[in-house]
Amino acid sequence: MRKREDGKNSQTVAKNAYNNRNYDRIAIQVNKGEREHLKEFAKKNGESVNGLVNRLLADAVPDFIPVGAESDNHDN
């Protein structure tokens, strides 16, 4: 991988810039031990924790567009 003059990896910098332009981040808190429980549950169902949260939000919130779904909001 290519390093920039500042020592950072060019590919990582590009991915981070893309993510910052296209996604909002939401941090949630869960009780100690629940993160692993969620990871195991998601894995058993063939998805990531992020995918699980997006799916649950899509089921519960009208007009919510989960990551990866088609939307009219393309900044590319």
Q: Where are the domains of the chain?
A: 10-60
Supply the pLDDT for residue 2.
76
pLDDT value at position 72?
A: 52
**Taking 50 as the threshold, does the pLDDT of residue 35 lie above it?**
yes
Instruction: Check residue 60 and give its pLDDT.
Output: 98
Mention every residue, 6+ apart, whose C-beta is less than 8 A from residue 25.
Answer: none
Model pTM score: 0.72
Whether pLDDT at 71 is above 60: no
The answer to whether the CB of 29 falls within 8 A of the CB of 36 is no
**What is the reported pLDDT for 76?**
47
pLDDT digits (tens, 9 = 90+) for 3-26: 778 888 889 999 999 999 999 999
